Structures are given as structure tokens and as C-alpha cells.
Amino acid sequence: MVENGLMRRPWKGAEVFEVILSVYETSKKRGQRFMGMVKKRFEQSSESEIQNVTAS
């Protein structure tokens, strides 16, 4: 989204970015692989969103 020549991040994008930063910091502290942790985290999010949709 561009407004007055500036890029703005949608709320969903901001939430995803926050999760990625959190996973990055955690992976550094634990000495684990960043990409593996990101994949695992978003797979968990996808499963919970699917469950929320089917429960509605």
C-alpha cells in the first residue's frame, strides 16, 4: 500500500514481521536454525487458523 509516496505495511504484515523478529531472537539465543524455526512457527499458526475457521 502506498500513501503519499510512503510504503505502509498492512496490519497482518506487521503481525507476521513481529513473529519473524521474535523467532530470529529466539533462534540466536538457542543456537538453532532460524529458517527451521520460522517454518515450524508458521505451520502451527496455519493449523490454528484452520481450526478457528472450521469451528465458526
DSSP per-residue string spanning 4-54? TTEE---HHHHHHHHHHHHHHHHHHHHT--HHHHHHHHHHHHHHHHHHHHH
Higher per-residue confidence, 27 vs 4: 27
- Give ∠ CA 37-1-7 in degrees, rounded to 5: 80
Question: One-letter amino acid identity for 28?
Answer: K
Contact 33, 27 (CB under 8 A): yes
Q: What is the pLDDT of residues 12-43, one digit of tens each?
A: 888 888 888 998 999 999 999 999 988 888 88
Domain boundaries of the chain, sorted by first residue: 2-55
